Structure 1
């Protein structure tokens, strides 16, 4: 599979950490945030990275160049920050089969391989990792309803009154059908083209979308305290490995 990484964001909420660099280049445990994404995706067998850049894109391109761990990198440019569905359409010409998608502001230590396996077994058009969050946090995310088969029946982006506390995380697999849905998405109340709306369009057209529960942990690095928590966990993990050896 090719792996798409969305890394065009400014990281306004991460200031002052992003005053001189894009969000994806904020360091966690001595590595840029996006490098943690590359590591995870490489371990999952990514054959090529397609990276969507935008704000201060030169920092990312100059740092990584045209490959990471001998895996080629292709860059696309999201000129305006108009949402994830808008960002995803910039890679359409580079994708012709099922692919992985990771948001470049997440750190995972979780069962990502289960998402790939489930999509392939069910021949679904999409699968993604979900987790239950405190109810007061659910309105920050795309909120999901599922049936007893673990299939997604509805996705609502950042609802004021969340119907559930089950939310999408930042890792997905898609078939190319997602691009057709993204073309049909209309701007939300926030003025953005939401990936949740594209997924909901797939559901309403009868496509199978699988939800896989998170086993492990992930941190959505939106604020400086999230960056600190991610670093703390990664350092604890490194210390535990060192002690075991």
Structure 2
């Protein structure tokens, strides 16, 4: 049934649940699912492709959950989502042109900065803030850049979208989380369209992980809406710091 042994598949299904839960609140689910896939014997391209498959379902679930509660209006954000999908696809296409080693050195620094911002910045709440960038400008600058990064590398995408929405678009923390999941879902769709023809997908494992990811994302999104910034901020700090630590470890060991 599975491409790997059943006990490894069950391990990945559990990892996908945890990834969906964490990702729906603060991003960083790939910190759990990608290493789990690699530990289960997937090659780097198989891990990335299968992670995009299962992660897309989790992001979709979180997006729908937030939308039903009124935290994001899907029709109004459709244009921004399309731009994110195109950016994710282009990022995946040019992945082989980007020196991943350079990114692995730079990204931990950026992720630590994101964690420090959310940990130390006073006054971050669910209330909207001052808008520093018009929506149209935000859509054609910050969105495609972050989405393209998601396509060719990935770790920290949710954190970067969150930071951009809070600092540039003036969103409150909960609203930023809701919109982050929409754009993350769109960038996943774009990059998934590139990965599918590669033939590297673990379809059976990936779809079972997707079902587990959906459950985790649904629970996580509902918890985030109930608790708000009091939960999102610390979890974002923890996941950003953990991602930075993992990337630094990869650089050190590589």
Same fold (TM over 0.5): no
TM-score by length of 1: 0.24
Identify which of structures 1 and 2 has the higher relative contact order when contacts are C-alpha pairs closer than 8 Å and 6+ apart. 2
Higher relative strand content: 1
